[in-house]
Chain A
Amino acid sequence: MSNLPETRTSRVSVRLIAIQILVFSLLLTLGGRLWYLQIRNGQEYANEARSNHVQQVIEPATRGSILDARGVPLADNQTRLVVSASRTELLKMKDDGKAVLGRLAKVLGMSDKEIRNKVRLCDSKTPQPCWNGSPYQPIPITDEATTQQALQIRERSEDFPGISAEPTAVRRYAAPGDANTAQVLGYLSPVTDEEINKAKNSRSPLLRSDQIGRSGLERQYDDYLRGKAAVTRYEVDNLGRVIGQANSEKGQAGASVVTSVDARVQAIAEKQLDQAMKDARQVHDKNTGTNYKADSGAVVVMEAKTGRVVAMASNPTYDPNAWVGGISGKDYAHLTGKDSNYPLLNRAIQGQAAPGSIFKVISTSAAINAGYDFNGHYPCTSSYSIGGQVFKNFEGEGHGDISLGRALEVSCDTVFYRLSHEEWKKDGGDKPKKDRHDWFYKTAHQFGLGKETGIDLPNEVSGRVPDRKWKHDFWMANKAGWCEQAKAWPKKKDFGTKLAREGCLEGMKLHAYDSINYAIGQGDTLVTPIQMATIYAAISNGGTLYDPTVGKAIVSPDGKHIQMIKPKSHGKLPDTSKTLRQIDSALAGVAVRGTAAWRFQGWPQDKIPMHAKTGTAEVYGKQTTSWFATYTKDYTIVMTISQGGTGSGASGPAVRNIYNALYGVSPEGEIDPKTALLPKPQASLPKIEGDGTIKAQPIKPYVLPSPSPSGSPQ
């Protein structure tokens, strides 16, 4: 005890207290930090922990099929061996996966560059081909791998890190019976991040792996076709091993869309359109001194009483299978390049041109509504002049005083020139009256022109009715440019400068010559084939303008729920039933004794009354557009060929061949019901089996009864 005070000096005591304080402040620090992490920010970390250990496995839904009216699949799915590359895995490698892609190129027999382009990401500076889907999703390189190639990749998986070869359901456009139907069906491509964000809170949110419809029916009915992917959420450990299952969402296969398209008729329509264009290219054009170019064309076959589309073809066309599994650079250039002539366009709904004489049914209705008598006497002179300007009859011939019906039959321009010019004058001419009627323009609007028909296909164009309002709006939009160009006047006196000068000074006015040209469907008027089909179908069915439809029914994958797409109308023709009957009989006259008669020689008119109107529209700087609008009591067929020549000349044989196939009419005019494809429109849906599958007989390409059925002109 005695030496204790000596050893335990105050220095040591103080130091021990210091140690003690230090130790406990360290522990307090730990306690405080623990409180901060667990109590103050606990929720945040708890959320993070939750997301840490849940992995989603997405099993994409099988996309629904697109079927024709009898159940033949126009678009369905096929299991193919898809080789895809994971970008994230490739980027982890030192050379960004170059070596792996090189080896893959050798196995697949592709070039290094081709493969590298496929896995690069699309941005504003990167041209196609590139990947515009999610960078975290495997990028398909080919969907045409052979079993041999897939095995090579799988067996040497150490040589191909990040590369997978899996059997995958891919879209197939089977073109049954050669019915390609490309523009109507549309195509798919991977969803973009933007679209995922947009659809996040909607009824059908998109997944990274989704493909969505980009055009045509694939786009229009995308919500139904896509179905819902099955999402299984697994709780996983740090190595991704599954240790439990979290809430999951059941998947649902996409519904099928039954269309009113008949693959057999579609195939004929496509073939006939193509043939008509090929034939037109053999025909010499007097005006330009070259053969017709026939650069594009479209044909629509529609049920007259419902507006349902039985066939719709657009030319030039393409193979929609090119899009499946990512489009190649060559194909993409081929489809969208400057020299491609844009085969992706569905010219039946997106091609617009002046209608030419098939517009005269509208002019006729306008005249009658303006108070002219259908059976009155109207001089069909060989030309019509105003103030030194001479407007010729199309072929330059006169027919004396004729009724409006006869004017339709022989397609007499001067009759309509005069009527329209008179109405223009009544409305005040260059100085429009306030209470003017604008009969000719109003009637065009009432016929549904200048507005989309509402067909169930995306991106339909509206065409144009060049009325006084449009003239003014167009002038407002363009006068600055015109007036600038017109400054060169009078030093420069070419046609362009002249037009610009006129436009600058008087472009806001609807001139007399505008109204004269307008009466016969020339000038600034633009229509689409589908609009004209709707109008001629309405004349056939007693005046109802239907929204054309391609989709007929949506059938749930189990076949239990069928949602019919019913014909809807967007208006009535502004004609009395009497007028309609008169026009109807005049159009029958066109087929019997008028401008289309030479194309319908031997047609069994008494059994299947045929109605037609030809049109040949002039386009500045181009060859004439051929229009041919026809109908029976069941069907309406409208065909157009750009730079194709005359209406009956270029389009006539093709349209007749389609009718021949529909009704089973031989080139000689005999009706054989056995060869008739569709003498009555298909009213019922294809048979749906108990398990939801829809079976249809495989079809063969239709062969016309006679090898050269087109008949010879006159």
Chain B
Amino acid sequence: MTTSHTSRAFSIRRYTPELGTWGKLTARDSVVRKLDWILLLSCLALSLMGSVLVFSATRNRTALNHNDEYFFFLHHLLNTGIGLALAAGTIWLGHRTLRGAIPILYALSVVLALLVLTPLGATINGSRSWLAIPGGFSLQPAEFAKITITLGMAMILAARVDAGDRPHPDHRTVVQALGLAAVPVAVILLMPDLGSVMVLGAVILGVLLASGASNRWILGLVGTGVVGCVAIWQLGLLDDYQIARFAAFANPSLDPAGVGYNTNQARIAIGGGGLTGSGLFHGSQTTGQFVPEQQTDFIFTVAGEELGFLGAGLIIVLLGIVLWRACRIARESTELYGTIVAAGIIAWFAFQSFENIGMTLGIMPVTGLPLPFVSYGGTSMFAVWIAIGLLQSIRVQRPLSASR
């Protein structure tokens, strides 16, 4: 490697040519070659579709877009770029490196979540789940908690198993893992950000399932959830209007001015789209701003109205591809830790997507959850791309662990 070009005559021709940067990236065992490109491109496609839909939804919203019709469009692209960078960073660090930093990350996310409850927190749409940070930005710590809970639980549950001590996590480990999850869940419940709590519930369930924890834990957890819901309903812990608001997704007339209005307008927008939609930027519901929160929680209605069944279906198909690749990564991971992390991410993406699209279609209650990659929102975008980075990292590092 020290040969200089000036002494070419004495140089020895190397058996293998020195690799250039491109060469390095494309080498058979390089990180780039080992990446799941289908997963990556699907996520990128979703993000780019999202940016166009966000643009369509916010072009006319002069009250929001600071009189710059490209404001949200450019910010969405910027968020996607930052997300990509975060994913790359995650891959570069590797999930195993991160494993050591989990306690710090976990503590950080809990502190951030707690900060929301202090005067630093900001209330948007009745939910105090935002953290105002200098420079006019805001963070949603609950999004990071989804990652740290997954990682934290995976670390605890997989530790003994990956070490080969036990085939499955024992009860004590499960209790420890649940205890770890309970802290941020409780904080987020206090905000209250019920949507995120629901996602975290799904994540915890996914993590426990993938960890191989005893069936009793799974059934117990599901049972507790069901009993809890029934208790809240029966014990009258909620006011009638809250129940009406919850049920309005199915029957908009229960809360015609509130959630029912959203549900109804969302359904009209999507239903009006038909097979091929009214064409990008030509949706009357979208142009007329009849659907509230359309660039964030109700972004799917823009696709439904302007791109029709084909466009909205494409989003579902792309999400399907992402989840299929993630499932593959979970299956092929050689360590339980990787499997659990992947399963947590699958549960997170799947449930959040289902809940978000389901509420616009009127089959799920309305909660403030973004659609991964597509909805406008920095924190959410960063979180899902970090998750993609983790998935890629699990895949990339598989041969290493295999050759261990």
Minimum distance in angstroms from A467 CB to a CB of chain B: 65
Interface string of A45-61 (1 = CB under 8 A from B): 11011101100000000
Q: Is A477 an interface residue (CB 8 A)?
A: no
Docked CA distance A109–B304 (Å): 56
**A41 and B271 within 8 A (CB):** yes
Contacts of A52 in B (CB 8 A): 265, 268, 284-285, 288, 290
Minimum distance in angstroms from A406 CB to a CB of chain B: 86
Contacts of A43 in B (CB 8 A): 274
Contacts of B330 in A (CB 8 A): 16, 19
A38 and B363 contact, Cβ closer than 8 Å, known pairs A6-B164, A9-B212, A23-B346: no
In which size bucket is the chain B interface? 35 or more
**B312 and A38 within 8 A (CB):** yes
Which residue from A19, A30, A35, A49 sits with its C-beta under 8 Å from B347?
Answer: A19
Q: Is A322 an interface residue (CB 8 A)?
A: no
Interface of A is mostly: helix
Q: Is A24 an interface residue (CB 8 A)?
A: yes
**A34 and B402 within 8 A (CB):** no
Interface string of B255-298 (1 = CB under 8 A from A): 00000000001011111111100000000110111100000000
Minimum distance in angstroms from B16 CB to a CB of chain A: 27
Which positions 602-651 of chain A face chain B at CB distance < 8 Å? none
Which positions 176-224 of chain B face chain A at CB distance < 8 Å? 206, 209-212
A39 and B304 contact, Cβ closer than 8 Å, known pairs A3-B164, A7-B161, A12-B210: no
Which positions 42-86 of chain B face chain A at CB distance < 8 Å? 60
Docked CA distance A569–B306 (Å): 67
**B316 and A30 within 8 A (CB):** yes
Which of B30-38, B115-123, B132-140, B353-361 interfaces with chain A? Answer: B353-361
**A30 and B354 within 8 A (CB):** yes
Smallest Cβ-Cβ distance to B331: which chain A residue:
A16
Number of interface residues of A (CB under 8 A): 46
Q: Is B247 an interface residue (CB 8 A)?
A: no
Contacts of A26 in B (CB 8 A): 350-351, 353-354
Minimum distance in angstroms from B145 CB to a CB of chain A: 21
**B210 and A19 within 8 A (CB):** yes
Which residue from B206, B304, B336, B402 sits with its C-beta under 8 Å from A19?
Answer: B206
A9 and B289 contact, Cβ closer than 8 Å, known pairs A23-B350, A34-B309: no
**A49 and B284 within 8 A (CB):** yes
Q: Is A18 an interface residue (CB 8 A)?
A: yes
Which residue from A11, A20, A49 sits with its C-beta under 8 Å from B272?
Answer: A49
**A34 and B313 within 8 A (CB):** yes
Q: Is B327 an interface residue (CB 8 A)?
A: yes
Interface string of B335-373 (1 = CB under 8 A from A): 110010001001100110110011001110000000000
Contacts of B96 in A (CB 8 A): none
Contacts of A27 in B (CB 8 A): 316, 319-320, 323, 350, 353-354
Minimum distance in angstroms from A586 CB to a CB of chain B: 81
Interface of B is mostly: helix
Interface string of A574-617 (1 = CB under 8 A from B): 00000000000000000000000000000000000000000000
Which residue from A1, A7, A31, A50 sits with its C-beta under 8 Å from B313?
Answer: A31
Contacts of B211 in A (CB 8 A): 12
**B284 and A50 within 8 A (CB):** yes
Q: Is A390 an interface residue (CB 8 A)?
A: no
Q: Is B167 an interface residue (CB 8 A)?
A: yes
Which of A230-238, A267-275, A423-431, A682-690 interfaces with chain B? Answer: A230-238
**B288 and A238 within 8 A (CB):** yes
**A48 and B272 within 8 A (CB):** yes
Q: Is A113 an interface residue (CB 8 A)?
A: no
Contacts of B161 in A (CB 8 A): 7
Docked CA distance A29–B363 (Å): 10
Which residue from B271, B334, B363 sits with its C-beta under 8 Å from A4?
Answer: B334
Contacts of B323 in A (CB 8 A): 23-24, 27
Contacts of A705 in B (CB 8 A): none
Docked CA distance A44–B357 (Å): 21
A44 and B288 contact, Cβ closer than 8 Å, known pairs A27-B320, A33-B363: no
**A38 and B288 within 8 A (CB):** no
**B168 and A237 within 8 A (CB):** no
**A53 and B335 within 8 A (CB):** no
Contacts of B334 in A (CB 8 A): 4, 7-8
Q: What are 12 pairs between A and B in contact, CB < 8 Å?
A: A7-B334, A15-B210, A16-B210, A19-B327, A26-B351, A27-B354, A30-B361, A33-B363, A41-B271, A52-B284, A53-B284, A237-B290
